[in-house]
Structure 1
Amino acid sequence: MVRGKTNTISLPLFICSPFCHAPILLLPGQAFAPLTDPSASHMRILALPALAGAGVARRRLALFWRRAGRRGVVGGMGLLEQCEAAFGSPDLYRVLGVRREASPEEIRRGYHRASLRVHPDRAEPDAKEEATRRFQILSKAYAVLSDAEQRAVYDEQGTVDEEGEALRGERDWQEYWRLLFKKITVKDIEDFENKYKDSEEELADIKAAYMDFEGDMDRIMESVLCVNYTDEPRIRNIIEKAIAAGEVPSYKGFVKESKQKMMARKRRAEKEAREAEKTKDELGLCGEDDLKALIQSRNKDRKKEMDDFLAQLEAKYVNNAKKGGKKTAAKKGKK
Structure 2
Amino acid sequence: MAPHEDDEELSDVEAPTCEPYAVLGIEKTATADEIKSAYRKAALKHHPDKAAPNKQEEAKVRFQELAFAYAVLSDPIRRKRYDVTGSTSESLQADGDFSWSDFYRSQYADIVTPDAIETFSKQYRGSDEEGDDVLAAYEKFRGKMSKVYQVVMLSNMLEDEDRFRGYIDEAIASGDVETYSAYADESAKQREERFNKARKVAEREEKEALVEADKHKKAAKKESSEDSLMAIIRGRQAERNGAFMDAFAEKWGAQEKKPKGKGKKGKKRAGEEEDEDNDMPSEEAFQAAAARLNGAKSGNDGHGRKAKKAKR
TM bin, normalised by shorter chain, reads: 0.5 to 0.7
Instruction: Identify the match of residue 143 of structure 1 among 46, 71, 83.
Output: 71
**Cα distance change of structure 1 residues 79 and 208 upon mapping to structure 2, 3 Å threshold:** same
Instruction: Identify the match of residue 202 of structure 1 among 130, 134, 139.
Output: 130
**Distance of 2:69 and 2:176 partners within structure 1:** 32
Maintained 8 Å contact 2:131/2:164: no
Maintained 8 Å contact 1:136/1:173: no
- Structure 1 alignment gaps of length 5 or more: 1-70, 81-91, 287-335
Matched residue, 2:52: 124
1:108 and 2:36 aligned: yes
**Cα distance change of structure 1 residues 268 and 138 upon mapping to structure 2, 3 Å threshold:** same
Maintained 8 Å contact 2:47/2:112: no
1:203-246 alpha-carbon deviations (Å, 9 max, x no partner): 11211221222222122111112211112233123212211111
**Distance of 2:138 and 2:172 partners within structure 1:** 10
1:247, distance to aligned residue in structure 2 (A): 1.1
Matched residue, 2:101: 171
Maintained 8 Å contact 2:44/2:111: no
**Distance of 1:164 and 1:127 partners within structure 2:** 29
Maintained 8 Å contact 2:47/2:63: yes
1:131, distance to aligned residue in structure 2 (A): 0.9
SS in 2 for 1:171: helix
SS in 2 for 1:247: coil
| Deviating more after overlay: 270-279 vs 204-213 | 270-279
Maintained 8 Å contact 1:206/1:220: yes
Matched residue, 1:241: 170
**Matching residue's letter, 1:133:** V
**Distance of 1:194 and 1:239 partners within structure 2:** 21
Maintained 8 Å contact 2:79/2:91: no
SS in 1 for 2:89: coil
Matched residue, 2:144: 216
**Matching residue's letter, 1:152:** K
Matched residue, 1:79: 18
Maintained 8 Å contact 2:78/2:91: no
1:266 and 2:224 aligned: no
Matched residue, 1:156: 84
More helix by percentage: 2
Matched residue, 1:326: none
Maintained 8 Å contact 1:221/1:232: no
**Matching residue's letter, 2:101:** R
1:121, distance to aligned residue in structure 2 (A): 0.6
Matched residue, 2:121: 193
- Pairwise CA RMSD of aligned residues? 3.8
SS in 1 for 2:155: coil
1:122, distance to aligned residue in structure 2 (A): 0.7
**Cα distance change of structure 1 residues 196 and 260 upon mapping to structure 2, 3 Å threshold:** same
**Cα distance change of structure 1 residues 108 and 208 upon mapping to structure 2, 3 Å threshold:** same
| Deviating more after overlay: 241-250 vs 99-108 | 99-108
**Matching residue's letter, 2:89:** D
1:260, distance to aligned residue in structure 2 (A): 6.2
**Distance of 2:143 and 2:104 partners within structure 1:** 34
**Matching residue's letter, 1:224:** V
Maintained 8 Å contact 2:82/2:90: no
**Cα distance change of structure 1 residues 240 and 131 upon mapping to structure 2, 3 Å threshold:** same
Maintained 8 Å contact 1:72/1:133: no
1:146, distance to aligned residue in structure 2 (A): 2.3
1:170, distance to aligned residue in structure 2 (A): 7.9
**Cα distance change of structure 1 residues 250 and 166 upon mapping to structure 2, 3 Å threshold:** farther
**Cα distance change of structure 1 residues 175 and 252 upon mapping to structure 2, 3 Å threshold:** same
SS in 2 for 1:142: helix
Maintained 8 Å contact 1:118/1:135: yes
**Matching residue's letter, 1:79:** C
1:282, distance to aligned residue in structure 2 (A): 5.3
Maintained 8 Å contact 2:82/2:91: no
- Structure 2 alignment gaps of length 5 or more: 1-11, 217-312
Report % sequence identity.
36
1:98-153 alpha-carbon deviations (Å, 9 max, x no partner): 45334445423321211111111111111111111111111111122123333113
